[in-house]
Amino acid sequence: MGLFEGKKGIVLGIANDHSIAWAITQQLFAEGAEIGFTHLPDKDPARPKNENKVRKLVDPHGAKFVIPCDVTSDEQLDTVFEKTEQEFGKIDFVLHSIAFAPPADLTGPVYRCSRDGFKLAMEISVYSLIAMAGRAQGLLNEGGSMLTLSYLGGERVIPGYNLMGLCKSALESAVGYLASEFGPEGKRVNAVSAGPVKTVSASGVGDIKKMFQLYETFSPMRRNITAEEVGKSSMFLLSDYASGITGEVLHVDAGYHCVAAPPLDAFDE
Ligand code: NAD
């Protein structure tokens, strides 16, 4: 019997088959989970590109629903959680795999970032987790959990990560506070801090090719991680196998986070 047999939940953050949320979803489906999904609203309802991309992936697995949600809208978030309650009653997991910063504010130095760009990046990448937690809190079963995705650039300076580093710092702080607030009810909140994975979001942050080289050269395992590895570790944190783990930021990054200096042979003449 699968680890998620009889478990129900929602996934926010699939854009396409490269999305980390899709890698996690595949593991959840494989373990028997029943899942509802959202997609970024389509500008032209006659050409539902975003919806179709998500449906193509999840419908063959028996997705319970696929509805639009822009996390900057309280009304749309309310609709998602109303639909979730209608469909499932109580739930066991919520996956938040969402981030955004306006390219002009993300690619420049932090000191050039605009007030509006900062607000939007924080709203979509951090506040959305809080907004979802407020709505999920009453719906989660005891033992249920939330998971979000972070990156090492929130703990330390990673060149090119810029404004998103500030967002991930705040996100990881929110994970701790939410975990302490959910804990007394037996509900958990965690993050996976993933190494670089080729996705639409990743292509907007720094030079992704060089990031891959960095991990290949300096991480203890001398390689990059796969989306499947992020999927498996994330599924573990959402599962009952992680019932004693909350407020955690689990690094799935071939060990890169523990390294303070490059291998000394990097300085060989
Ligand atoms: P992705 O582009 O596939 O996913 C980002 C998702 O955010 C998309 O589905 C997009 O539609 C959604 N989104 C953006 N603005 C939104 C809004 N206003 N309302 C609703 N949804 C919105 O890229 P990804 O790499 O899978 O990113 C998922 C998460 O993983 C992000 O938090 C990202 O920071 C994090 N992460 C990614 C990497 C990486 O290297 N790819 C590494 C560590 C952490």
**With contact defined as beta carbons under 8 Å apart, do 227 and 171 qualify?**
no
> 135 burial class (0-12, 13-18, 19+ CB within 10 angstroms)?
middle
All structural domains of the chain, each given as residue ranges with its CATH number in brackets, are 8-194+227-255 (3.40.50.720)
Q: What is the pLDDT of residue 180?
A: 98
Mean pLDDT over 148-156 rounds to 98
pLDDT of 208 > 90? The answer is no
**pLDDT band (50, 70, 90) for residue 203:** confident
Examine the residue annotation and report whether 177 is marked as an active-site residue of this protein: no
> Over pLDDT 70: what percentage of the chain?
100
Instruction: Decide if pLDDT at 206 tops 80.
Output: no
CA distance 239 to 250: 14
Residue 164: pLDDT above 90? yes
Catalytic residue among 151, 177, 215, 256: 151
Kindly give the distance from the C-alpha atom of residue 164 to the centroid of ligand 1, in angstroms, as a whole number: 11
Give the pTM.
Answer: 0.97
What is the mean pLDDT of the segment spanning 56-72? 98
98 lines ligand 1 (CB under 6 A): yes
Average pLDDT (57-77) is 98
The answer to whether 151 is a known catalytic residue is: yes
